[in-house]
């Protein structure tokens, strides 16, 4: 009776192996369940069931079975952890394997890439490519090129990469990423265009649909837009991003990166569009698809957008969330908090936040120091700002820009000793670390100027003598040296002045007219412009050439709005309107003589005759056409004023 069940189980295992070889994992799962129905403690059947669930993408159920019933199956557990985005657990499971094979190393390399441990990942892929021969060689080479790109981003040109092929669009794309990290943007664009062509050709040969081709091209095009954005060609980059987003890419990471980059182009403009884009870029299901660097940038841009749109409370919560999630980005969190306080016009609180960060982090970032110095200057604390700039670090504090800022600030406080001290310390540092840097000669020359200006000609002479050794033919340095010696050693000044070239030699290179016009004492208004010489008059008088004054250009007068050049102008246009012949006086019905004298007075016959005589005399400038003596009154001409009806033809 015990042989029957064993016979059934053996038959089941035979069917199970056959189904697994044919890839029929649904059928294999049913057979495994039949075996477990016969024997619940069959560990081999439990293992087979877990493998079937893995092939059917049921990773949670597979992991439960493996952890509960099966031991010594760390690879399967690690794979389930990897597919469930539990990357640290996958790493621990793989590290517990004593003698890893090719498949364990392959998965471990993938896990290390997700953990962003690129150095160790690089060594694993090199070993796999060297010691394996199968159909996955091209895929390993593609993954290796992706690792190399990230190592370039971390280490720069210090990293020495192996020679990689570019015969597939994936390899060509990764080569473009390497060129971007090298800041060779134009070459990167050429590689991205080549990758796009290879991608289209490859997918068309594999009978891919247009949607599949567009989805695969989305990654390449977004990277192309990013390079254009780095080259300040924002319009073209924005066009590419919008085109990719319009096609609704299936890869959420591509959509998130494109949306984030659109927000950076918009800045504080087109806020409504930026809000929609940042919502896509900050979706919850993107953490496993984006690198930590990408997540950090998107989170920072989200905070900045909230800050620009005056959403103070939401911005504060976003900064707190950013600080908890990215503990390694404490400097960025401090800057965001300081920006929020400045937005609220609480500059002192912003200063306190940055000072607190600087105190707890001695190796503070340069950006923190410059921001803190700027805020202190806004409050008028110039001395404290100078102390911050001097404490940044030698590699930054002794750059020409910082030195120039420090000297200017100290001179604004009339602290000439500190200004000269900054320059002297900078000269010592350059002599020790960068003796051949051209900035050293500039610093020596500027220090000599300040020493001369503030009454230290001896120190200035020492510095200028040093410059003379490097360039004995520099006349500017020689002139400054003579000026310095003349203040404390006139004999030495005379001796040095003998090294000046003769006047006849120097005068050949001097443009007298330009020199005179440039030094005109009455100001720039009276300076004669160089290059415009006055032409002598062709009509000499008494042997002398007359200089004619330039005639002023008269502006053309403005013509009337309805000016007609074919019609003669009105001869009365200069007369007042009341004196023109076309002017119509209002006639009083009571008579011309009523109301002109005192109230109730009647005009005499003499006055009436005078008025009738003057009416027949044309006024100056009036029309010479005689008026009719028999003028009809308004009542008599009433009927004559009616308009004639138009005759119809």
pLDDT tens across 73-91, in order? 899 999 999 999 999 999 9
Q: What is the pLDDT of residues 592-647, one digit of tens each?
A: 444 444 444 444 444 433 343 333 333 344 343 333 334 344 434 444 444 444 43
Task: Judge whether 114 lies within some domain.
Answer: yes
Phi and psi angles of residue 346, each rounded to the nearest 5 degrees, phi first: -115, 70
Alpha-carbon distance 506 to 249, whole Å?
72
Q: Is residue 312 part of a domain?
A: no
The total domain count for the chain is 2
**Alpha carbons 418 and 640: distance in angstroms, whole number:** 104
Residues 35 and 141 grouped into a single domain: yes
Q: Specify the pLDDT at position 521.
A: 55
**Is 317 a residue whose pLDDT tops 90?**
yes
Cβ–Cβ < 8 Å for 177, 149: yes
Q: What is the pLDDT of residues 241-275, one digit of tens each?
A: 999 999 888 889 999 999 999 999 998 888 899 99
Predicted local distance difference test score (pLDDT) of residue 645: 45
Q: Which two tokens stand for residue 438?
A: 């051209």
The predicted structure's pLDDT at residue 359: 83
Are 265 and 231 a contacting pair, CB within 8 Å? no
Backbone phi, psi, residue 544, to 5°: -105, 150
Residue 328 pLDDT level (bands cut at 50, 70, 90):
confident
Mean per-residue pLDDT for 12-39? 89
pTM of whole model > 0.85?
no
Q: Give the pair of three-digit tokens for residue 641.
A: 């004023």
For the residues 129-139, what does the mean pLDDT come to? 85
Question: Quick check: is 328 in a domain?
Answer: no
The pLDDT value recorded for residue 341 is 94
Residue 401 lies in a domain: no
Q: Which residue has the higher pLDDT, 2 or 562?
A: 562
- Residue 242's domain comprises 165-250
Determine which helix (DSSP H) or strand (DSSP E) holds 43, and give its type and residue range.
helix 43-55
Rounded CA-CA distance 517/193 in Å is 57
Contact yes or no for 107/94 (Cβ under 8 A):
yes
Is-contact 283 246, C-beta < 8 A? no
Q: Is 457 left (phi over 0), alpha (psi -120 to 50) or beta?
A: alpha
State the Cα–Cα distance between residues 638 and 17, nearest whole angstrom.
Answer: 127
In a domain, 366, yes or no: no
pLDDT value for 464:
85
Contact 220, 199 (CB under 8 A): yes
Domain end call among 137, 155, 173? 155
Residue 519, CB-side half-sphere exposure with 13 Å CA sphere: 5
Domain-embedded: residue 270:
no
- Residues above pLDDT 90, as percent of the chain: 42
Same domain, 209 and 191: yes
CB 269 within 8 A of CB 277: no
What is the rounded CA–CA span in Å between residue 330 and residue 562? 74
Statement to judge: residues 125 and 240 lie in one domain: no
CATH number at residue 129: 1.25.40.10
List residues bridging with 541 in a β-sheet: 544
pLDDT tens, position by position, 461-519: 888 888 888 777 777 888 888 888 888 888 888 888 887 777 767 677 777 777 777 65
Structural domain includes residue 445:
no
């Amino acid at each position: 009776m015990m042989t029957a069940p064993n016979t059934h189980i053996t038959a089941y295992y035979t069917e199970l192996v056959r189904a697994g070889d044919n890839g029929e994992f649904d059928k294999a799962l049913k057979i495994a369940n039949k075996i477990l129905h016969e024997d619940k403690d069959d560990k081999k059947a439990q293992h087979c069931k877990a493998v079937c669930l893995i092939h059917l993408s049921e990773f949670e159920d597979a992991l439960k079975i493996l952890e509960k019933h099966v031991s010594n199956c760390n690879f399967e557990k690690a794979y389930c952890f990897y597919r469930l985005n539990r990357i640290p657990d996958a790493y621990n499971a793989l590290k517990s394997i004593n003698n890893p094979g090719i498949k364990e190393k392959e998965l471990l390399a993938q896990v290390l890439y997700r953990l962003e441990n690129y150095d160790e990942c690089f060594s694993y892929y090199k070993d796999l490519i060297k010691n394996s021969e199968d159909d996955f060689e091209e895929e390993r080479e593609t993954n290796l090129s992706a690792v190399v790109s990230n190592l370039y981003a971390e280490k720069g040109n210090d990293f020495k990469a192996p020679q990689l092929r570019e015969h597939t669009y994936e390899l060509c794309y990764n080569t473009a990423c390497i060129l971007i990290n090298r800041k060779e943007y134009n070459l990167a664009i050429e590689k991205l265009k080549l990758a796009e062509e290879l991608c289209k050709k490859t997918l068309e040969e594999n009978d891919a649909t247009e949607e599949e081709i567009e989805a695969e091209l989305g990654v390449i095009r977004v990277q192309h837009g990013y390079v254009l954005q780095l080259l300040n060609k924002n319009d073209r980059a924005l066009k590419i991003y919008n085109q990719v987003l319009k096609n609704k890419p299936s890869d959420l990471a591509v959509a998130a990166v494109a949306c984030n980059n659109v927000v950076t182009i918009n800045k504080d403009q087109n806020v409504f569009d930026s809000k929609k884009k940042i919502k896509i870029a900050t979706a919850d299901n993107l953490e496993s698809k984006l690198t930590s660097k990408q997540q950090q940038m998107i989170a920072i841009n989200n905070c900045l957008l909230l800050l620009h749109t005056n959403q103070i409370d939401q911005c504060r919560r976003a900064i707190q969330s950013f600080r908890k999630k990215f503990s390694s980005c404490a400097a960025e969190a401090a800057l965001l908090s300081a920006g929020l306080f400045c937005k609220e016009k609480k500059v002192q609180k912003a200063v306190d936040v940055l000072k607190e960060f600087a105190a707890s982090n001695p190796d503070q970032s340069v950006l923190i120091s410059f921001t803190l110095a700027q805020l202190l200057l806004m409050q008028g604390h110039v001395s404290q700002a100078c102390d911050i700039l001097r404490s940044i670090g030698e590699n930054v504090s002794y750059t020409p820009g910082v030195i120039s800022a420090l000297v200017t600030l100290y001179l604004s406080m009339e602290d000439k000793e500190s200004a000269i001290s900054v320059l002297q310390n900078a000269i010592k540092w350059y002599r020790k670390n960068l003796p051949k840097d051209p900035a050293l000669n500039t610093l020596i020359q500027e220090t000599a100027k300040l020493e001369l200006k503030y009454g230290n000609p001896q120190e200035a002479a020492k510095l200028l003598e040093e410059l003379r050794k490097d360039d004995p033919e520099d006349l500017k340095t020689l002139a400054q040296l003579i000026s310095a010696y003349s203040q404390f050693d006139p004999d030495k000044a005379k001796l040095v002045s003998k090294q000046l070239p003769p006047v006849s030699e120097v005068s050949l290179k001097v443009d007298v007219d330009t020199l005179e016009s440039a030094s005109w004492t009455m100001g720039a208004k009276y300076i004669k412009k160089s290059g415009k010489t006055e032409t002598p008059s062709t009509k000499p008088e008494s042997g002398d050439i007359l200089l004619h004054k330039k005639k002023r250009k008269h502006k053309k007068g403005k013509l009337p709005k309805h000016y007609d050049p074919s019609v003669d102008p009105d001869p009365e246009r200069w007369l007042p309107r009341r004196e023109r012949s076309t002017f119509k006086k209002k006639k009083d019905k009571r008579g011309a003589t009523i109301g002109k004298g005192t109230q109730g007075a009647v005009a005499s016959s003499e006055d009436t005759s005078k008025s009738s005589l003057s009416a027949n005399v044309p006024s100056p400038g009036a029309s010479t056409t005689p008026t009719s003596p028999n003028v009809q009154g308004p009542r008599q001409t009433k009927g004559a004023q009616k308009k004639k009806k138009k005759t119809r033809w």
